[in-house]
């Protein structure tokens, strides 16, 4: 059995049913989403758009730097299973 065959035999077939999108989310000092940018899509534009829409409508806690809240970008990984 070749190395490639061995590696393929170890893969989980369910993994092929997952999509992962990497995005940047800008939160204001109250945790509200100000902007969302796609960093790396999953290859399906419809799923990429769904991820950005869900991230845009998400609710997040305020970001703190020390004792103060701050407005800043966060890198977020969004995943979906079929």
Q: What is the pLDDT of residue 75?
A: 94
Q: What is the pLDDT of residue 57?
A: 95
H/E element holding 76?
strand 72-81
Query: In Å, what is the CA distance from 20 to each residue of 56, 59, 68, 73?
Result: 16, 20, 32, 19
pLDDT in tens, 17-39: 689 999 999 998 888 999 999 99
Query: In Å, what is the CA distance from 4 to each residue of 7, 8, 10, 14, 19?
Result: 5, 6, 10, 19, 23
Q: What is the pLDDT of residue 66?
A: 77
Q: What is the pLDDT of residue 19?
A: 92
Among 46-50, 55-59, 66-70, the least confident range:
66-70
């Amino acid at each position: 059995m070749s190395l490639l065959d061995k590696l393929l035999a170890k893969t989980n077939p369910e993994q092929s049913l997952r999509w992962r999108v990497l995005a940047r989310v800008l939160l204001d000092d109250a945790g509200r989403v100000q902007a969302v940018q796609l960093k790396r899509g999953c290859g399906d534009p419809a799923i990429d758009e769904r991820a950005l829409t869900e991230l845009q409508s998400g609710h997040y806690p305020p970001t703190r730097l020390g004792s103060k809240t701050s407005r800043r970008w966060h890198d977020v990984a969004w995943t979906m299973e079929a």
